C-alpha cells in the first residue's frame, strides 16, 4: 500500500489544495517508494501563513518556561525515537545508519540548547539620568519561514525551528522535496511535545512552487534558508526589504596539510571531511593543498584509502559510504569525474557502481574519487561538486596555502593539519572562511558554536547555532524609555 502523507496547516493534517502529490524514493534503491507527499502551491502557502500569523502572538505571550518546556519535551521524545527516525533518514536520504543516528541523536541536544535560550532572551538597561529608565526589550519577529535542504534534513531544520520557537515566533516550514518525511517527523515530535497546533505549518513541495510562494508572500517576517548559492541569491533578490533574511549556502572547502604533518593524521582528516556523508556536506572537503614534499605520498595514501571504502546501501552492515541522494547528484558527480579526466587529471575512483555492480544497480552509488595532477585552471578547483570527489594540489609555502585556500568564491570551512602554532595562528587570523578547524576535518561542528561562512557561503546577516547571535536573528530589540 502506498503511504500518502499530508501537509499540516492551521492545525489540520490535509492534502495540498490542488490535490497533486510527488514521490519520495529511496536513493539506495529507487524502486522503493517511501510515500507520496503533497505537491503544494501558493494557495497552501497562503493558508499556512495565515494560520501561523494568528497563532504566534499567544505563544509569544506565554511565559518563557512554557516555551522551554515544550522544547525540553521535544528533546526527550526525539531522544527516545532517534534510532527509529534514523532508520527512516537512511532510507530517505541515503547516508549510513551510523551517520543517520549521529544526526538524529543530536536533535535532542539541539532542542535542549534552544529551550535554555528561551529563558535567556535578555534585554539590557542603559545608563540615563534619573528622570527615566532606558531599556531594551527582545520580542519575537512573528512569522518565520524555514526552508531547508536535504543533506541534514533533521539538524538543519532543528537549528532553525528550535530558536525560532524558543524566541516566541511561529514557523512556516518547507523541507526539501528530497526529504519530506524527515520534515514531517520533526513536526510530529514538536506536536507530541505540546506545541500549540497552529503555531507551526508544514508545507511540502517543490522549491520552484512552494519556496517561491513563501518568498513572494508579504506575510513572512523572517526567512531562514540553507541551500545552494543560486537559490539563495534568487531568494534575496525577490524578498521584500521588510523581511529579515538569513542565507547559508555552499562551500568549496579546503584541507591544508603543512610540511610537519603526520601523514596518517592528514589522511584520516581528509577522508572524513571529503567522503563522510558521501561528500554531501556544505562543509565537506573538496580541495586538498599539501606541502610539496608530502604530495606524492599523500596522494598515494588517499587513493589507497578511498579505494578501500565500502560503498553500498546505508542500511547494510559494514557499509562506510551510502549512495548520493538523488539522480541529479549522481549525474553531477560523474560529470565532474569526466571533467577531471578531460582536463588531464589523474583520477582514482569515481566509478559508477550502479553500472558496475548488479547489487547496486538501483541506487546512486559511486566510488569516492581522488584527483591529482590537475591544471591550475581546472573547474574542479572552483566549482562546488557536493559529492565524494577530492582534488589534491601541492603548495610551497604558508603564503601560498592561505592564498589558494581563499581562492574561491566561497568561504565556509577550512581545515589545517599541522602542529606548527605560528602557522596556525597566522592562517586562522588571515583566512577568509567563517569556520577554521585545526587538526580536525572541515565537517563536524559543535551545535553551540556560531556557524556560518563568508563571501558566497552566507549573506552574513546572523550566524546560525549557539546562543546570542542566533537569538539576534529570531528576535528583535525595541528600545523603551520609561519616564516617571
Provide the 3-class DSSP secondary structure of residue 185.
Answer: helix
Using alpha carbons, select from 237, 234, 241 the residue that is nearest to residue 218. Answer: 241
Using alpha carbons, select from 275, 279, 310, 326 the residue that is nearest to residue 26. Answer: 326
The set of residues, in sequence order, having a beta carbon less than 8 Å from that of 97 and lying 6+ positions away, is 86, 87, 90, 314, 315
Q: Report, in Å, the least distance between residue 26 CB and ligand ADP.
A: 17
Please, are residues 49 and 220 in contact by the beta-carbon 8 Å criterion?
A: yes
Q: Report, in Å, the least distance between residue 248 CB and ligand ADP.
A: 10
What is the spatial distance between Cα 130 and Cα 456, in angstroms, rounded to a whole number?
48
Work out whether strand 125-126 and strand 132-140 pair parallel, antiparallel, or are unpaired.
Answer: antiparallel
Query: Looking at beta carbons only, is 209 or 301 nearer to ligand ADP?
Result: 209
Please, are residues 96 and 314 in contact by the beta-carbon 8 Å criterion?
A: yes
What is the spatial distance between Cα 454 and Cα 169, in angstroms, rounded to a whole number?
27
- Structural element, H or E, at residue 426: helix 421-430
What is the spatial distance between Cα 1 and Cα 434, in angstroms, rounded to a whole number?
47
Please, are residues 320 and 311 in contact by the beta-carbon 8 Å criterion?
A: yes
Q: Report, in Å, the least distance between residue 99 CB and ligand ADP.
A: 17
Query: Looking at beta carbons only, is 227 or 388 nearer to ligand ADP?
Result: 227
Q: Active-site residues: which are they? A: 248
Residues that bind ligand ADP (CB under 6 A): 147-150, 174, 176-177, 207-208, 211-212, 215, 227-228, 231, 234-235
Q: Report, in Å, the least distance between residue 138 CB and ligand ADP.
A: 28
The set of residues, in sequence order, having a beta carbon less than 8 Å from that of 158 and lying 6+ positions away, is 107, 110, 111, 186
Q: Report, in Å, the least distance between residue 82 CB and ligand ADP.
A: 23
Query: Looking at beta carbons only, is 82 or 164 nearer to ligand ADP?
Result: 164
Using alpha carbons, select from 279, 283, 276, 285 the residue that is nearest to residue 254. Answer: 285
Query: Looking at beta carbons only, is 235 or 402 nearer to ligand ADP?
Result: 235
Q: Report, in Å, the least distance between residue 173 CB and ligand ADP.
A: 10
CA distance to 242, 289, 400, 425, 446, per residue, from 395 (Å): 46, 6, 6, 19, 30
Query: Looking at beta carbons only, is 208 or 361 nearer to ligand ADP?
Result: 208
- Structural element, H or E, at residue 281: none
CA distance to 164, 205, 206, 231, 245, per residue, from 210 (Å): 20, 6, 6, 13, 17
Q: Report, in Å, the least distance between residue 148 CB and ligand ADP.
A: 6
Amino acid at each position: 500500500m502506498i503511504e500518502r502523507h499530508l501537509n499540516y496547516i492551521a492545525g489540520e493534517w490535509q492534502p495540498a489544495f490542488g490535490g497533486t502529490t510527488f514521490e519520495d524514493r529511496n536513493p539506495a534503491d529507487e524502486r522503493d517508494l517511501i510515500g507520496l507527499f503533497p505537491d503544494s502551491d501558493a494557495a497552501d502557502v497562503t493558508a499556512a501563513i495565515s494560520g501561523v500569523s494568528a497563532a504566534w502572538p499567544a505563544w509569544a505571550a506565554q511565559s518563557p518556561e512554557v516555551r522551554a518546556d515544550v522544547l525540553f519535551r521535544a528533546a526527550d521524545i526525539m531522544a527516545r525515537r532517534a534510532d527509529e527516525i534514523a532508520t527512516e533518514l537512511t532510507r530517505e536520504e541515503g547516508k549510513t545508519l551510523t551517520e543517520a543516528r549521529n544526526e538524529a541523536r543530536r536533535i535532542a541536544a539541539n532542542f535542549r540548547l534552544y529551550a535554555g535560550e528561551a529563558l535567556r532572551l535578555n534585554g539590557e538597561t542603559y545608563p540615563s539620568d534619573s528622570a527615566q529608565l532606558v531599556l531594551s526589550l527582545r520580542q519575537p519577529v512573528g512569522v518565520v519561514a524555514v526552508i531547508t535542504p536535504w543533506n541534514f534534513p533533521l539538524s538543519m531544520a532543528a537549528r532553525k525551528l528550535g530558536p525560532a520557537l524558543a524566541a516566541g515566533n511561529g514557523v512556516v516550514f518547507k523541507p526539501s522535496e528530497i526529504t519530506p518525511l524527515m520534515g514531517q517527523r520533526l513536526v510530529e515530535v514538536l506536536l507530541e511535545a505540546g506545541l500549540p497546533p497552529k503555531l507551526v505549518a508544514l508545507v511540502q513541495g517543490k522549491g520552484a512552487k512552494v519556496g517561491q510562494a513563501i518568498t513572494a508572500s508579504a506575510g513572512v517576517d523572517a526567512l531562514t534558508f540553507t541551500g545552494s548559492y543560486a537559490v539563495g541569491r534568487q531568494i534575496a533578490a525577490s524578498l521584500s526589504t521588510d523581511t529579515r533574511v538569513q542565507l547559508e549556502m555552499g562551500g568549496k572547502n579546503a584541507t591544508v596539510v603543512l610540511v610537519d604533518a603526520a601523514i596518517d593524521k592528514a589522511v584520516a582528516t581528509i577522508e572524513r571531511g571529503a567522503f563522510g556523508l558521501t561528500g554531501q556536506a556544505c562543509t565537506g572537503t573538496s580541495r586538498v593543498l599539501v606541502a610539496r614534499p608530502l604530495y606524492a605520498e599523500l596522494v598515494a595514501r588517499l587513493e589507497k584509502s578511498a579505494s578501500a571504502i565500502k560503498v553500498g546501501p546505508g542500511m547494510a552492515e559494514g557499509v562506510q559510504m551510502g549512495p548520493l541522494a538523488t539522480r541529479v547528484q549522481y549525474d553531477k558527480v560523474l560529470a565532474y569525474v569526466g571533467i577531471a579526466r578531460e582536463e588531464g587529471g589523474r583520477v582514482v575512483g569515481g566509478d559508477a557502481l550502479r553500472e558496475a555492480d548488479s547489487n547496486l544497480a538501483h541506487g546512486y552509488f559511486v566510488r569516492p574519487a581522488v584527483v591529482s595532477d590537475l591544471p591550475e585552471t581546472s573547474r574542479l578547483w572552483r566549482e562546488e561538486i557536493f559529492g565524494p570527489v577530492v582534488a589534491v594540489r601541492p603548495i610551497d609555502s604558508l603564503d601560498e596555502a592561505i592564498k589558494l585556500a581563499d581562492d574561491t568564491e566561497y568561504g565556509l570551512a577550512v581545515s589545517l593539519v599541522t602542529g606548527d602554532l605560528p602557522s596556525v595562528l597566522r592562517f586562522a587570523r588571515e583566512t577568509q572562511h567563517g569556520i577554521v578547524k585545526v587538526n580536525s576535518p572541515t565537517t563536524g561542528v559543535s551545535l553551540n558554536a556560531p556557524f556560518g561562512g563568508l563571501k558566497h557561503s552566507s549573506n552574513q546577516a546572523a550566524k546560525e547555532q549557539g546562543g546570542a547571535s542566533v537569538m539576534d536573528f529570531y528576535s528583535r530589540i525595541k528600545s523603551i524609555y520609561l519616564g516617571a
